[in-house]
Every structure is written in structure tokens, then in C-alpha cells.
């Protein structure tokens, strides 16, 4: 089977990969937007988790070939790339925040779907251990970091794909050189000869953070969505497993069926979004700040949303390298990781959102 992709060209799938792709669990991802509510900012950003999963699969295939893996390991790595996001909930990382509040994650749901659905049967029929795929999805084992590591197929695909569909010019990376630089021993590392390609990827991610992933308007829409969902939950309990099986439209329709959340959902759909009323230094307790604004303005709870912008400044930058002297890390040969960490920290802040007509009444 061949699939034509605007990022990676023709993607080849064998029979078992095609069968996995055709399961309801994977097909649901066609109806889950990769960038959640970012299409309210970038109208063409309507690409799906399904497309991204195919992209991660294509890159996993390239890693397997470059690393010289045997047929069995290559097949496992390819399937892990295809299935790594099968547990993503509606609107992708928007529902991730709800999962986190319930003590779980989309990674956990991905593993559950590999273990407990038709996918497991398909894998076992081909002599593939579903638990091995789950381990790779979790970043475990010597190949795990290809799927979930510092420089992985997930990040490599979403940077290029998200830049393509938003029209933003910052997501360009040299994926061919990065894959060529990969070395495998007890785990994945990269040749220090190609450090510039690694630095380019990290810089692209840094530039995409404020431009796309943490865009002010997207964050406002997300906070409104989360407020609507919490109001929905007050009226109708929903198990996280039930939500993880839904797509974007199903969850929005369900939330509109409850009076408490309908109005906010309709505002999001009509792009009647709140505005930034205040920006503060990080460190304040968001619930206390919300109560303070409500008390000083007399505004109802649903019209005062507080958003803490927090940046992960460490995880993507601790890249293992292979140098002439032996094992090393990017920090040891490049000043860029520390510079990017500091730059991300400077982006951290707390924002207060409210309807446009209330903005002037908020003083902090």
C-alpha cells in the first residue's frame, strides 16, 4: 500500500501496517486535529493526528534503514511510530490537560489501545508482541528514544508538518542529516559531526513555541474550552477512557447538549474569544488570582480565566552525542541548549482572559 503525503512523499506500508491503519482506533485520528484549536488562528491548520502518525511512521522507517536494523526490530519500530498517538483525545493537547488533571495521559491510552483492541490481535497474528510496541511508545529500550526521546520521530514530523499547514516558516529541519547522524549502542545517540543539524531542530522548536504552540489566541481558546469542559463535568460525569475514544466533533456535540457548557462552546465555534486583560510575572497561584479578580471586578467565574504559561526548558535539549572522545552530550559542545532554556524561561508568565467588554475593569 502507498500513501501520498505532502511532507514525506509516498509512504509504503506492508500488509500488517495497512491492517493496523484500517482499525477504528487509527481511523478515529482522522477526526482529531493535530493542533487542537489553532485553526482559529491559522485557518489551514486543520491537519489531523492521522497524518502525523503516518509521518512518524515514515521517519521511523528511515531510522530503521539508516541504523541497519534487522527485519523484526525494524517492523516493531515502524509500528510503534504508526501507533504512538493512537490514544490522543479530542483536540489533541487540549484534552491532554484534562487527562493530566485526572492522573493519566494520552501515552497511557495509546498503550491501552495497543493492548486491548483489535490492534493487539493483528500484531499477535504476525508474531509481534504488543507489549514490545507499548515499550517503544513509552520510550523504553535501546530503540525507545527513536519514538519518544530528545530527538524523535514525533518531534521531527510535527515541527515540519505544523509549519507546513500553518504557513509559518520556522519549522524547517534537515531530517535526512539528523537520521544519518543517528548511532545505536545501548541507546540512541547522534554523531557530533552533525551537531548543526541537531541545533537547527532545537532552534525550530524554540521558534515554533510562541508562534504556534503557545500562540496567545490559541491559548485563550483552549482555556475557554477547558472552562466549558469543567462546567460540563459538573453536570455529567465522564470517564477519561470514554473521552479518549471520542473525536473532536463528538465531544463538542456532547458539550453542547448540556446548558452549563453550551454557551462557551458556541463562543469558541463562532470565534467570539476572550481577550488578554492582564499579564503578570510567573509564580502566582492561579486559583487565588482568579478569586482576586472576581472579587475586585464582580465578574462571574466563567468570565475570568487565568492561564499559567509554563515552558519546558530542559527535556528536548539533553541530546546524547557520540564524540571522538566517546559518549557526550549537546550541552558539552554547544552553547545553544543553555541559551534556549533561558529564552524559554523568559516567555513564562500568567495571563488573565475575559470578554472584550470587561478588559478595562481588570486591574492587577
Residue 363 confidence (pLDDT):
86
Name the one residue in this structure whose C-alpha cell is 473521552: 243
CA distance 196 to 361: 49
Q: What is the pLDDT of residue 313?
A: 53
Q: Which fold has domain 2-210?
A: Hypothetical protein af1432 (1.10.3210)
Does residue 37 contact residue 94 with C-beta atoms inside 8 Å? Answer: yes
User: Which helix (H) or strand (E) segment is 232 a member of?
Assistant: helix 216-235
- Which band of pLDDT confidence, cut at 50, 70 and 90, is reported for residue 318? confident
Tell me which fold the domain 216-311+348-361 belongs to: Growth Hormone; Chain: A; (1.20.1250)
pLDDT tens-digit map of 50-93: 999 999 999 999 999 999 999 999 999 999 999 999 999 999 98
Residues 190-200 have pLDDT tens digits of 999 999 999 99
In the chain, what are the domain boundaries?
2-210, 216-311+348-361
Residue 207 is predicted with a pLDDT of: 94
- Nearest of 120, 147, 142 to residue 59 by alpha carbon: 147
pLDDT at 316 over 70: no
**What pLDDT sits at residue 231?**
94
In tens, the pLDDT along 231-247 reads 999 998 888 889 999 99
User: What does the pLDDT read at residue 37?
Assistant: 97
Does residue 46 carry a pLDDT above 90? yes
pLDDT of residue 255: 96
CB 267 within 8 A of CB 224: yes
Percent of the chain with pLDDT over 70: 99
Q: How far is CA 244 from CA 89, 90, 152, 261, 337, in A?
A: 4, 7, 24, 19, 35
**What is the C-alpha separation between 61 and 55, in angstroms, rounded?**
10
pLDDT digits (tens, 9 = 90+) for 10-31: 999 999 999 999 999 999 999 9
Cell of 315: 527535556
Is 208 in contact with 170 (CB distance < 8 Å)? yes
The C-alpha cell at 88 is 490522543
Local confidence band at 299 (pLDDT 50, 70, 90 cut-offs): very high
Provide the whole-model pTM.
Answer: 0.94
| CA dist., res. 211 & res. 104, Å (int) | 28
Query: What pLDDT, in 10s, does the model give residues 118-151?
Result: 999 999 999 999 999 999 999 999 999 999 998 9
Amino acid at each position: 500500500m502507498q500513501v501520498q503525503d505532502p511532507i514525506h512523499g509516498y509512504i509504503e506500508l506492508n500488509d500488517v501496517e495497512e491492517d493496523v491503519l484500517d482499525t477504528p482506533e487509527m481511523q478515529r485520528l482522522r477526526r482529531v486535529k493535530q493542533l487542537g484549536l489553532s485553526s482559529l488562528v491559522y485557518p489551514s491548520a486543520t491537519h489531523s493526528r492521522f497524518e502525523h502518525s503516518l509521518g512518524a511512521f515514515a521517519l521511523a522507517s528511515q531510522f530503521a534503514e539508516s541504523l541497519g536494523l534487522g527485519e523484526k526490530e525494524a517492523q516493531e519500530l515502524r509500528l510503534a511510530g504508526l501507533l504512538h498517538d493512537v490514544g490522543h483525545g479530542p483536540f489533541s493537547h487540549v484534552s491532554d490537560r484534562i487527562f493530566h488533571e485526572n492522573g493519566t495521559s494520552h501515552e497511557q491510552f495509546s498503550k491501552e489501545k495497543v493492548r486491548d483492541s483489535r490492534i493487539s490481535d493483528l500484531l499477535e497474528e504476525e508474531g509481534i508482541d504488543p507489549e514490545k510496541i507499548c515499550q517503544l511508545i513509552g520510550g523504553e529500550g535501546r530503540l525507545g528514544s527513536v519514538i519518544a526521546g530528545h530527538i524523535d520521530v514525533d518531534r521531527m514530523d510535527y515541527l515540519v508538518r505544523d509549519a507546513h499547514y500553518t504557513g509559518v516558516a520556522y519549522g524547517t529541519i534537515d531530517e535526512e542529516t539528523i537520521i544519518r547522524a543517528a548511532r545505536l549502542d545501548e541507546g540512541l545517540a547522534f554523531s557530533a559531526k552533525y551537531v548543526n543539524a541537531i541545533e537547527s531542530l532545537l532552534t525550530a522548536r524554540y521558534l515554533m513555541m510562541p508562534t504556534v504552540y503557545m500562540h496567545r489566541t490559541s491559548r485563550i481558546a483552549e482555556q475557554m474550552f477547558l472552562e466549558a469542559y469543567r462546567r460540563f463535568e459538573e453536570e455529567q460525569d465522564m470517564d477519561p477512557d470514554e473521552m479518549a475514544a471520542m473525536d473532536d466533533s463528538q465531544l463538542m456535540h456532547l458539550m453542547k447538549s448540556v446548558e452549563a457548557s453550551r454557551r462557551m462552546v458556541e463562543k469558541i465555534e463562532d470565534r467570539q474569544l476572550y481577550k488578554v486583560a492582564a499579564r503578570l510575572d510567573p509564580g502566582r497561584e492561579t486559583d487565588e488570582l482568579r478569586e482576586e479578580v472576581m472579587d475586585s471586578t464582580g465578574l462571574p467565574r466563567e468570565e475570568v480565566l487565568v492561564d499559567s504559561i509554563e515552558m519546558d526548558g530542559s527535556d528536548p535539549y539533553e541530546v546524547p552525542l557520540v564524540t571522538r572522545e566517546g559518549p557526550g552530550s549537546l550541552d558539552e559542545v554547544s552553547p545553544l541548549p543553555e541559551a534556549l532554556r533561558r529564552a524559554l524561561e523568559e516567555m513564562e508568565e500568567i495571563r488573565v482572559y475575559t470578554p472584550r467588554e470587561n478588559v478595562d475593569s481588570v486591574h492587577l
